[in-house]
Amino acid sequence: MPDRIVSWHPSPSKPRYTPPAGAVDAHCHVFGPMARFPFSAKAKYLPGDAGPDMLFALRDHLGFTRNVIVQASCHGTDNAATLDAIARSDGKARGVAVVDPAISEAELAALHAGGIRGIRFNFLKRLVDDAPKDKFLEVSRRLPAGWHVVIYFEADILEELRPFMDAIPVPLVIDHMGRPDVSQGPGGADLKAFRRLLDARGDIWFKATCPDRLDPSGDPWNAFADAVAPLVADYQDRVIWGTDWPHPNMQDQVPDDGHLVDMIPRIAPTRELQHKLLVANPMRLYWPEEP
Ligand code: 0GY
């Protein structure tokens, strides 16, 4: 068996920034534990165990209250590990599943009962073998009320995906802003194209996440801060934030989660913006029944 990969920081620093009460880490994952929740035979990486106890300890350490757990590709379409983590969260976690597009209505209802509020379509060729747009569209028309679709793609296929995204009949949430080249700056071609996408529909949301993935200049990720702050300001009612812990595939450049939290006031400089980013917006998407 290949070595299992550890892609998270062993002892993240305590952030200097204190999130508002009720803050949501709206993009994170769990891995295993493998003995209970084996990884998919099609997984493109084999991570170490990073289960719910570790996730909730990090949540508390960073000053957050809730998590949105996104099914990672290493678990394929078996959402058992994600559902188990949600079940252990005492109502403080909800999730996004990855499903076989042939999933039945009864199975979707069971996912809803387990705290799932959306499904994820992953278009990264290094992570998944295929991404059948026609089947994705079909299942997106049968989702439980209030669900959304999360899409993960890289900037070079944004235009190609436009007709597909336009046809999805529920709100869209774009992972990591569609991975723009942030070194182009806030007016660069990638972020301009992303703004055109956001302007096309009022129900496209995005995650202002992953300076560690998007900014090769490294911590403290100045290019990310410069490029992303104007986007957060201009689309402040449809942006959410997350750690991306346990940082799949980042084993060569493991970020310090405390430093990731310290990016928040740089991309959302006012308390009002921070409250939207960390509380009001993710609550509308994931806990809409709460006032
Ligand atoms: C992420 C990023 C990655 C991996 C996954 O599902 C996944 O395996 O999401 C990645 O390698 O870019 O969104 O956390």
226-281 confidence digits (pLDDT tens) = 999 999 999 999 999 999 999 999 999 999 999 999 999 999 999 999 999 999 99
> What pLDDT is attached to residue 37?
98
Cα–chain center distance at 214: 14
Within-domain flag for 126 = yes
pTM here is 0.98
Residue 72 Cα to ligand 1 midpoint, Å, equals 6
Residue 248 Cα to ligand 1 midpoint, Å, equals 5
Q: What percentage of the chain carries pLDDT values higher than 90? A: 99
| Cβ 127 under 6 angstroms from ligand 1 | yes
| Cβ 212 under 6 angstroms from ligand 1 | no
Q: Does the pLDDT of residue 1 top 70, yes or no?
A: no
Task: Say what the alpha-carbon torsion angle 98, 102, 116, 131 is, to the nearest 10 degrees.
Answer: 30
Within-domain flag for 17 = no
Within-domain flag for 30 = yes
CATH classification of the domain holding 174:
3.20.20.140
Q: Are 154 and 179 in contact (CB under 8 A)?
A: yes
Domain count, the chain: 1
Residue in this structure with the two tokens 């892609």, named with its chain if needed = 7
Of residues 199, 244, 252, 257, which has the active-site annotation?
Answer: 244
Within-domain flag for 9 = no
Q: Whose CA is nearest to atom 4 of ligand 1?
A: 248
Choose which residue among 127, 154, 210, 247 to substitute to test ligand 1 binding: the one with the highest number of ligand atoms within 8 A of its C-beta: 127
| Cβ 72 under 6 angstroms from ligand 1 | yes
Q: What is the C-alpha separation between 177 and 231, in angstroms, rounded?
A: 10
Residue 252 Cα to ligand 1 midpoint, Å, equals 15
| Cβ 248 under 6 angstroms from ligand 1 | yes
pLDDT band at 225 (very low <50, low <70, confident <90, very high): very high
- Look up the domain containing 51 and give its range: 24-286
Within-domain flag for 18 = no
What's the mean per-residue pLDDT of the chain? 97
> What pLDDT is attached to residue 248?
98
Task: Say what the alpha-carbon torsion angle 264, 214, 9, 245 is, to the nearest 10 degrees.
Answer: 70
| Cβ 249 under 6 angstroms from ligand 1 | yes
Q: What is the C-alpha separation between 177 and 175, in angstroms, rounded?
A: 5
Choose which residue among 8, 31, 39, 73 to substitute to test ligand 1 binding: the one with the highest number of ligand atoms within 8 A of its C-beta: 73
pLDDT band at 291 (very low <50, low <70, confident <90, very high): confident
> What pLDDT is attached to residue 3?
85
Within-domain flag for 118 = yes
pLDDT digits (tens, 9 = 90+) for 26-80: 999 999 999 999 999 999 999 999 999 999 999 999 999 999 999 999 999 999 9
Residue 244 appears among annotated catalytic residues: yes
Q: Does the pLDDT of residue 2 top 80, yes or no?
A: no
Q: Are 259 and 222 in contact (CB under 8 A)?
A: no
Closest CA to 97 of 164, 144, 166: 144
Q: What is the C-alpha separation between 20 and 275, in angstroms, rounded?
A: 6
Beta strand residue intervals within the chain, DSSP E: 24-28, 66-70, 93-97, 116-122, 148-152, 172-174, 204-207, 239-240
Within-domain flag for 1 = no
Within-domain flag for 19 = no
Residue 242 Cα to ligand 1 midpoint, Å, equals 13
